[in-house]
Structure 1
Amino acid sequence: MNHRQLEKDIEHLEHVISHISAEDRIPLSYWRNRIASVSGAVLVPAQANRVKRLDAALSALEQRRKV
């Protein structure tokens, strides 16, 4: 994945994850897979930190869904 596309994907995920809920029409598993796809890319430290925050935010949504 090239640097520009990776950056766009992370930005998109940051926007979406901050606006979805556990009951959103797109399943959380879809977003989990999208985060996994960017996690597998070569990331600079700042991007890796952003992806970790995305992962934590999605994990919180997943936990709310289980309750």
Structure 2
Amino acid sequence: MNHHQLEKDIEHLEHVISHISAEDRIPLSYWRNRIDSVSGAALVPAQASRVKRLNAALLALEQRKKA
């Protein structure tokens, strides 16, 4: 994945994850797969930190859904 596409994907995920809920029409598993695909790319430290925050935010949503 090229640097510009990776950056666009992270920005999109940051926007979406901050606006969805556990009951959203798109399942959380879809967003988990998207984050996992970005996580597998070669990330610079700042991007890795952002993806880590995305993971934490999505994990919180996943845990709320299980409760």
Q: Shorter-chain TM-score: what band?
A: over 0.9
TM-superposed deviation, 1:15: 0.1
Does 2:22 align with 1:22?
Answer: yes
Unaligned runs of 5+ in 2: none
**Counterparts of 2:41 and 2:62, CA distance in 1:** 23
TM-superposed deviation, 1:62: 0.2
Residue aligning to 2:39: 39
Identity between Structure 1 and Structure 2 (%): 88
TM-superposed deviation, 1:23: 0.1
Q: Which amino acid aligns with 2:7?
A: E
Residue aligning to 2:56: 56
Aligned pair count reads 67
Please, what is the CA RMSD of the aligned residues? 0.2
> What TM-score does the superposition give when structure 1 sets the normalisation length?
1.00
Unaligned runs of 5+ in 1: none
> What TM-score does the superposition give when structure 2 sets the normalisation length?
1.00
